[in-house]
Structure 1
Amino acid sequence: MDTEKRQGRDEARRTESGIEVKPVYGPQDFDSSDYGEKLGDPGEYPYTRGVYPSMYRGRPWTMRQYAGFGTAKETNKRFKYLTEQGQTGLSVAFDLPTQMGRDSDHPLALGEVGKVGVAIDSLLDMRELFDGIPLKDVSTSMTINATASTLLLLYGLVAEEQGAEARSVTGTTQNDILKEYLARGTYIYPPEPSMRITTDMFAYCAREFPRWNTISISGYHIREAGSTAVQELAFTLSNAIAYVVAATRAGLEVEEFAPRLSFFFNAHNDLFQEVAKYRAARRMWARIMKERFGATDEKSLKLRFHTQTAGSSLTAQQAENNIVRTTVQALSAILGGTQSLHTNAFDEALALPTEKSARIALRTQQILASEGGLTDTSDPLAGSFYVESLTDAVEEEAWGYIKQIDEMGGSVKAIEERYMQREIEEAAYRYQREVEKEERVIVGVNRYETDDDPEMDLHTADETIQEQQTERLRELKETRDSSAVESALADLKGAAEGTDNLLYPMKEALASLATLGEVSDTLREVYGQYRP
């Protein structure tokens, strides 16, 4: 028995990224002489230990629970419920037609309206979504990409109607179109015009929404598609490099837009590897901005990020186990220094969250913040021989990927050649094979299974939502000033055919009650629709 135990202890173990984990770590694995260059104090370059000196002692991370389903009115009710329960920031999920630039009455929207997020067709819906919620006082994140500019402008119009100054409005639009081609699929236009829309948004926000985070460069969906932690980090930073290059080529100064770049990472099950990933990300981004782009403003060097626990890790079997998975994943994000966090509900492998499961997910964060001692000191894992060694290993492997992508001509070229897609597919296949061979244990799935799961109350979708939205659109088009809409859309088309910033005529169209689908169709006329 003792021999078997020794063999089990000594056999090689690896993280899911393939990094070998030794049985024990010591001083030989951490060179403290490089402290200033590799670590530094929290709030100091290269920000490995965090972007702010006091981190959570000053203020805990923002608890930003992701929500959205059905109509704007239903989602508004959920927002208010979560706020009453102590949520400190809003996060909006949009349905697939909204993400794809289709109005709810479009034939392709059939069966999808309000299913995986809220349906937003026009300014009327956006008004209702934030009815009674003062936008001057709340920070809102919107998970939207191909139509990010449209949703931001609608949000801004509602803020103006409420009397809020655009310069004081805070929040984030995901607006990361490259990862849509790479991992998620909610793109509309080809990459080149999509990048133009993104950089136009950078320029618009620098002038009109200076406190808005114009992009949340997302590794989350790359990881959900099956990548490793190292691939998630490398591909995200490569995409970020591509955005900075595109913006500078469009004539923007780095310091003009870089301080409003933000990131979005996945929190997966391997706690220490995830912590190492976040720490390596900050160090790498600081060096990229300083050495590659010549940034000097510390706000341009700091990688600030939102985290969401791993949806792909949730199991339908023994769904309550997901509460524990989410807690471990949230712990990794907090120990890794996240700026905001969404914790998934335990029933999300089966349906959209109920009020009960959403409350448990929020309470998970509140318990960690209030009872776990996690806000007492900055970067509590710093100096761990294991964590520092793992941070170095994750960084080294991520640089290897970035170098390969650079040699191919950057992220856009690598995506067009399907390099990153193939790497993700191969990683996902390896992971699934490990699960099937029980080399990787998933509790309740390939080990510790039970024959029956308890009955649960699940959220059910209202099947009349599409009818409600279609009738709302019909009434809108009958009562609005059609000539004003047509004129504004013609101006938008002219800007798309030329070089003017698209967001100014787009705002005029939306203020005239043009719909999201009409704006998207106007751009489709000029740019076409991307087909892989």
Structure 2
Amino acid sequence: MDEFKQDFLKWQEQIKEQIKKRPERKEEFQTSSSIPIERTYFPDKIDNAYIDSLGFPGEYPYTRGIRGTMYRGKYWTMRQYAGFGSAQETNERFRYLLDQGQTGLSVAFDLPTQIGYDSDDPMALGEVGKVGVAIDSLEDMEILFDQISLNQVSTSMTINAPAAVLLAMYIAVAEKQGVAKEDIRGTIQNDILKEYIARGTYIYPPKPSMRLITDIFAYCSDHVPSFNTISISGYHIREAGSTAVQELAFTMSNAVAYVEAALAAGLDIDSFAPRLAFFFNGHNEFFEEIAKFRAARRMWANIMKERFDAKNPKSWQLRFHTQVAGSTLTAQQPENNVVRVALQALAAVLGGTQSLHTNAKDEALSLPTEDSARIALRTQQIIAHETGVSDTVDPLGGSYYIETLTDQLEEEALKYMNQIDEMGGAVSAVEKQYMQREIHRAAYDAQKRLENKDDIVVGVNKFQVGEEQQPDLLKVDEAFVESQIERLQQIREHRDNEKVDYILTQLKTAAKGTDNLMYLIIEAVKQYATVGEICHALRDVYGEY
């Protein structure tokens, strides 16, 4: 206990330093009954096991949060995933959401962009602007961020196989705005392994895909130090039907593979690890989700410190974005989704997320309307400003149930990770279809429980209503596709095509060697080479998976 008191006093001094850098929201925190709220709470009796597994918030192993002040100093970033139709339409939605109090942008790209095709490619027919915004060239990116200062906002981009191209465009737009590369903040998803496992928007085989990812790590480490170079995603693994344990295990195994690939490329662990970020699913089972986030932090801290011998504490810290579970949204009685989303978002906040997206109630039926997107954002704002859950750090820490669940999730996830290590790691496990099979089995079991009514989904297999009234839905006007293609053709006519061809030829040559490809990709986008042209140049060298 004496040792704990000394450590506690040391921790309090560190908190004072943190508060100097980032002042807390209030001078005093108290309940509506004027009862003071402590920064965090500890048990009456402390032993070594407690310190080893939980410790203090903001200290290794970070079970209780990556910062000692957590939301007392700054709320999580409130992002709403948005993108549809043209860059102009999406820009209007972005600016609307920012006006409504959103604190970060999250870009949804259409399917052709995600798999490296231009809007006029025959493969893109019928898909342009449908599930996200169509981005063909730097001009689209300029329109997308028109009147949005890139030194004032953090931007997350759900892009994987062509991540290098879209990041290059973002850097070029910032440069045109007069914003230094060092000052832009955000995240590219850039997690190709989970595409093979669960989502499907891959282009190239695993090895060249991993090379592109490590090129991004190296480039950003030198030039874009505040940008998160990858968002290692358990979200889509869970959406494909995995359990919480599988989401944890497969995400961590993928993360290990990215670290090993970067080390094999000659990067220093502490040069890139502090910019690795994670992306988790906020699912329905309230307490299990809170425990999952806490277990993830502890697992990552141990992996980085013990397995990879990282020295920088920032390399040990798992920073993550949460999106509530799209797969739990129901087309039946869509108003019920507001309740689901609120509870899932609350679990993410109680679990210590750094960033959060709340789904809109109508997303099982269409892209969200402006009104439903606003309600989703208001859900986060109500949690932040009206519930008091952000006034103390890790409020459920010490709960018998939460601590037991945290330990059990970690233990079961590590069993999976050991199996994957025995197979030769995540890349090998992907090639052997191991993770895919495990997810399919879990999804099948869940579907059987639903059909047998062992699991109840309100409005779907119980508590149904008669004929439901169809809500007003967002409809993307497909007339924009023609103008999108026309603009694209004009860009090709008016740019310096000789220069574009020369850079793309250089890119192919570099792709056969070992040079960092980011430099040439940035040059290509500045000359208005398109997403499709750059991706096709790399297809010519790497082939398709």
| 1:296 Cα offset (Å) | 1.3
Match of 1:296, SS? coil
Query: Is residue 96–residue 116 contact of structure 1 (8 Å, CA) maintained in 2?
Result: yes
Alignment partner, residue 301 of structure 2: 286
Counterpart in the other structure of 1:13: none
Do the aligned residues in 2 keep the contact of 1:135 with 1:159 (CA within 8 Å)? yes
**What one-letter code is carried by the residue in structure 2 that aligns with 1:343?**
T
- Report the CA distance between 1:465 and its aligned residue: 2.8
Given the alignment of the two structures, is residue 251 of structure 1 paired with residue 271 of structure 2, yes or no?
Answer: no
CA distance in 2, matches of 1:195, 1:523: 13
Q: Matched residues, percent identical?
A: 65
Partner AA of 1:408 in structure 2: M
Whole-angstrom distance in 2 between the partners of 1:149 and 1:266: 25
Q: How far did 1:33 drift?
A: 4.5
Offset at residue 162 of structure 1 (A):
0.3
Pick from 310, 313, 319 the counterpart of residue 328 of structure 2: 313
For residue 471 of structure 2, the aligned residue among 456, 469, 478 is 456
Partner Cα separation in structure 2 for residue 282 and residue 205 of structure 1: 24
> Is the Cα contact below 8 Å between 1:113 and 1:465 reproduced in 2?
no
Where does residue 392 of structure 1 map in the other structure?
Answer: 407
> What residue in structure 1 maps to residue 24 of structure 2?
none
Q: Distance in 2 between matches of 1:429 and 1:367?
A: 36
Please state how far the C-alpha of 1:466 moved relative to its aligned partner.
2.2
Give, in angstroms, the shift of residue 131 of structure 1: 0.3
Report matched runs for 1:50-89 at 5 Å. Answer: 50-89=65-104
Q: Which residue of 2 aligns with 1:168?
A: 183
2:213 to 183, 198, 206: 198
1:497 is the counterpart of 2:530: no
Q: Which of residues 54, 57, 80 in structure 2 aligns to 1:42?
A: 57
Which residue number in structure 2 is paired with residue 266 of structure 1? Answer: 281
Indicate the SS of the match to 1:104.
coil
> Any residues of structure 2 matched to 1:135-214 within 5 Å, and which?
135-214=150-229
How far did residue 464 of structure 1 move?
Answer: 1.8
Q: Find the counterpart in structure 2 of residue 529 from structure 1.
A: 544
Residue by residue over 1:176-222, the C-alpha shift from the partner in whole angstroms, topping out at 9 and shown as x without a partner, is 00000000000000000000000000000001101100000000000
Equivalent in the alignment of 2:253: 238
Offset of residue 469 of structure 1: 1.4
Q: Which amino acid aligns with 2:134?
A: A
In the TM superposition, what is the alpha-carbon distance from 1:237 to its structure 2 partner?
A: 0.2
Q: 3-state SS of the aligned residue for 1:279?
A: helix
What's the CA shift for 1:454?
2.6
State the SS of the aligned residue for 2:334: coil
Distance 1:464 1:192 in 2: 40
TM-fit CA distance, 1:34: 1.0
Q: Tell me by how many angstroms 1:453 deviates.
A: 1.8
1:439 is aligned to 454
State the Cα deviation string for residues 243-286 of structure 1 (Å, max 9, x = none): 00000000000001000000000000001000010000000000
Provide the aligned length of Structure 1 versus Structure 2.
Answer: 501
User: Are positions 1:375 and 2:377 aligned together?
Assistant: no
Tell me, in whole angstroms, the C-alpha distance in 1 between the residues paired with 2:427 and 2:391.
Answer: 42
3-state SS of the aligned residue for 2:277?
Answer: strand
The Cα of 1:375 is off from its aligned counterpart by 1.3
Q: Which residue of 1 aligns with 2:107?
A: 92
Say which SS state the counterpart of residue 278 (structure 2) adopts: strand
* TM-score where L is the length of structure 2: 0.91
Where 1:441 maps in the other structure, the secondary structure is coil
Give SS of 2:139's match. Answer: helix
Greater than 4 Å deviation, 4+ residue runs: 30-33
The CA distance in 2 between the partners of 1:89 and 1:200, in whole Å, is 26
Secondary structure of residue in 2 paired with 1:217: strand
Task: Indicate how the Cα distance of structure 1 residues 348 and 32 shifts in structure 2: closer, same or farther if over 3 A, else same.
Answer: farther
Q: Which segment is superposed worse, 464-473 or 277-286?
A: 464-473
> CA–CA distance in 2 between the matches of 1:262 and 1:142?
13
1:411-450 counterparts in 2 under 5 A?
A: 411-450=426-465
> In structure 2, what residue type is equivalent to 1:357?
S
CA distance in 2, matches of 1:466, 1:189: 27
Deviations 1:306-344 (A, max 9, x none): 000000000000000000000010011000000000000
1:446-474 deviations in Å (ceiling 9; x for gaps): 11011122331100011123212110111
Aligned residue for 1:471, secondary structure, equals: helix
What SS does the aligned partner of 1:257 have? Answer: helix
Counterpart of 1:63, as a letter, is M
How far 1:31 sits from its partner (Å)? 9.2
Q: Pick from 407, 416, 419: which aligns with 1:401?
A: 416
CA distance in 1, matches of 2:480, 2:199: 25
Paired AA for residue 34 in structure 1 = A
Equivalent in the alignment of 2:362: 347
Aligned to 2:350: 335
Q: Which amino acid aligns with 2:86?
A: T
Q: Distance in 1 between matches of 2:47 and 2:426?
A: 35
Which deviates the most, 117-126 or 465-474?
465-474
Deviation at 1:130, TM superposition (A): 0.2
Cα distance in structure 2, aligned partners of 1:331 and 1:68: 25
Deviations 1:107-161 (A, max 9, x none): 0000000000000000000000000000011100000000111000100000000
Which runs of 5 or more residues in structure 2 are unaligned? 1-44
Deviation at 1:174, TM superposition (A): 0.3
